Amino acid sequence: MKIALTGYGKMGHMIEKIAQQRGHEVVCVIDKDNTSDFDSDAFRSADCVIEFSTPATAVENIRNSFAQGVPVVCGTTGWTDAMPEIKEICENGNGTFLFASNFSVGVNIFMAVNRYLARIMNSYPQYKPHMVETHHIHKLDHPSGTAITLADEIISATDRIGAWMEPDDCRMKDADSNTILEIDHIRQGEVPGIHTIDWDSDVDTITISHSAKSREGFALGAVIAAEWLADKKGFHTIGEVFNF
């Protein structure tokens, strides 16, 4: 399989390593200094592009990939306000796309546990959820895309929780704390990613948590997703890949 990369930071390097270990060829690498390479035979030869760039560049990278007829697996977060546009392009037959806020197999298992626990908690209003996400100091967006996905899953499963907010937003908007899921973020060192959800009551606390040990799990999941997407068309989700 031929793979292109957009974004060549630490994740891009790790994805390249994993792809080659799995027998794939990385035919084109595009970063901020060589975006003209979208219009190249090397890029067009790719069966799939894996996109891990920045929130500011992701949407344009996706559009450029679609213009060259190359399917996109995207793990960049912080840009998803533009997701309806990307989905519409795919539904009109002009792009193939798969997005995940986190490609780690373990995180996707964790998300399945989160959905199950939230459905249980819908019947126990004495428990209030709270989330903390911790990442390395280079991560630009907050809350993390994974935290937002986890929060949206809780909101969908529980009638009493209507929105998520960061603590400063809660204070500024004087929100009803009983209907809000607060998400705290911490940026420290080179932490790959920790997500912890507490369900707290007056008598006890139930906690679920996922802690990544390295970026390797994210990279492996992205390559697996590219392998899955290469012969597909349209708009897809990570749940289709892992069947969770």
Return the active site residues.
135, 139
User: Residue holding tokens 């930071």?
Assistant: 9
Q: What is the DSSP letter of 118?
A: H
Structure tokens given for 92: 């009109």
* Packing angle of the helix pair 105-121, 145-157 (nearest 10 deg): 30
- Rounded CA Rg of the chain: 19
Alpha-carbon distance of 143 to 199, in angstroms, equals 19
User: Residue holding tokens 């809350």?
Assistant: 143
| Length of the chain as a residue count | 244
Buried-exposed string 92-121: b where 16+ CB fall within 10 A, e elsewhere: eeebbbbbbbbbbbebbebbeebeebbeeb
What are the φ and ψ backbone dihedral angles of 175, each rounded to 5 degrees? -75, 155
Structure tokens given for 209: 């948590």
Which of left, alpha, beta for 78 (phi over 0: left; psi -120 to 50: alpha)?
Answer: left
SS3 content of the chain, % helix, strand, coil (to 5): 40, 25, 35
- Residue 187 pairs with which residues in a beta bridge? 135
